[in-house]
């Protein structure tokens, strides 16, 4: 019997006045936008699943990262409570990648197993100098946010079924180990795309490009290959930083 799930997007913080070109390669320079940092609670099966855990707090971001607004309603534990869950209920945490705005608070989940692509884990230890800040690697006195749960990380190698109805899809480009999370619902397949598709605009393209890659990438050739891989995908896509996603309480409606 098929196992069907429901996906609840959760707002875990707001990146403030970000240059839109960060999300749309060589486009929208100088256009400032606020975007949410999204997590996703996936329920319906035996396992309670969380995809991405969001960013640090505002003070930490001001010191080490970029301006971030994190209000009371954007607290992860509060968002779980709204769904009648607690951190103790989460069995599986899947991380689309290990950039700082997707993987804080991992130590809050004592009963969880964490799933990360092997290539992502390897790269996060020693990223290129231009990307160390994104991984919070190599900062004196600072431990990367994922390191506290290293012993509970399951390193995935490529596309893989995690539990019935939930599959990770390797989508390198933004980072070497970026992955999407495919979820089977009663309304068909949905893919939580992470930063391979940050905004709907990335997927919809414009007059010259069918799809627009993100402005932050580790390998642009891989990024285009991943977008082509998604073209053959049968399901619908949920972007990683799209405000419009929050207009709907859950997916499918």
Tell me the per-residue pLDDT of 18-47, one tens digit each, with 9 for 90 and over: 999 999 999 999 999 999 999 999 999 899
In 3D space, the residue among 192, 116, 193 whose CA is nearest the CA of residue 149 turns out to be 116
User: In the beta sheet, which residues pair with residue 14?
Assistant: 36, 69
The tens digit of pLDDT for each residue in 90-99 reads: 999 999 999 9
Tokens of 175: 């980072």
Distance between CA atoms of 201 and 132, rounded to whole angstroms? 27
Residues in CB range of 4: below 8 A, 6 or more apart? 44, 165, 184, 185, 186
* pLDDT > 70: percent of the chain: 100
Return the sign of the alpha-carbon dihedral for residues 94, 189, 8, 48. negative
Q: In the structure encoding, which two tokens stand for residue 19, read together?
A: 């240059």
Tell me: the pLDDT tens digits for 40-81? 999 998 999 999 999 999 999 999 999 999 999 999 999 999
Under CATH, what is the fold of the domain 6-247? Metallo-beta-lactamase; Chain A (3.60.15)
Return d(Cα 181, Cα 175) in angstroms, integer.
Answer: 15
Domain ranges of the chain: 6-247
**Which band of pLDDT confidence, cut at 50, 70 and 90, is reported for residue 233?**
confident
For residue range 100-157, list pLDDT tens digits in order.
999 999 999 999 999 999 999 999 999 999 999 999 998 889 999 999 999 999 999 9
Yes or no: say if 91 and 97 are a contact pair by the CB < 8 Å rule: no
pTM for the structure as a whole: 0.98
DSSP states of 40-80 as a string?
EEEESSSS-EEE--B---HHHHHHHSS-EE--GGG-HHHHH
């Amino acid at each position: 019997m098929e196992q069907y799930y429901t996906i609840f997007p959760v707002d875990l913080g707001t990146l403030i006045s970000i240059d839109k070109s960060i999300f749309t390669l060589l486009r929208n320079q100088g256009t400032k936008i606020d975007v949410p940092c999204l997590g996703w609670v996936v329920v319906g099966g035996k396992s309670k699943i969380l995809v991405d855990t969001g960013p640090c707090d505002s003070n930490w971001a001001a010191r080490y990262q970029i301006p971030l607004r994190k209000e009371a309603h954007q607290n992860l534990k509060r968002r779980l409570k709204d769904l009648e869950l607690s951190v103790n209920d989460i069995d599986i945490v899947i991380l689309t990648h290990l950039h700082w705005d997707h993987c804080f608070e991992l130590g809050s989940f004592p009963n969880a197993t964490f799933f990360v692509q092997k290539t992502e884990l390897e790269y996060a230890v020693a990223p290129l100098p231009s990307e160390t800040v994104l991984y919070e690697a190599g900062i004196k006195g600072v431990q990367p946010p994922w390191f506290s749960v290293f012993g509970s990380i399951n390193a995935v190698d490529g596309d893989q079924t995690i539990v019935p109805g939930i599959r990770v899809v390797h989508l390198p480009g933004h980072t070497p180990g970026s992955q999407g999370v495919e979820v089977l619902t009663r309304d068909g397949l949905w893919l939580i795309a992470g930063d391979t598709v940050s905004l709907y605009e990335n997927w919809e393209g414009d007059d010259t490009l069918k799809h627009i890659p993100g402005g932050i990438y580790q390998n642009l050739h891989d990024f285009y290959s991943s977008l082509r891989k998604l073209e053959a995908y049968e399901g619908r896509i949920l972007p990683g930083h799209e405000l419009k996603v929050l207009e709907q309480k859950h997916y499918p409606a």
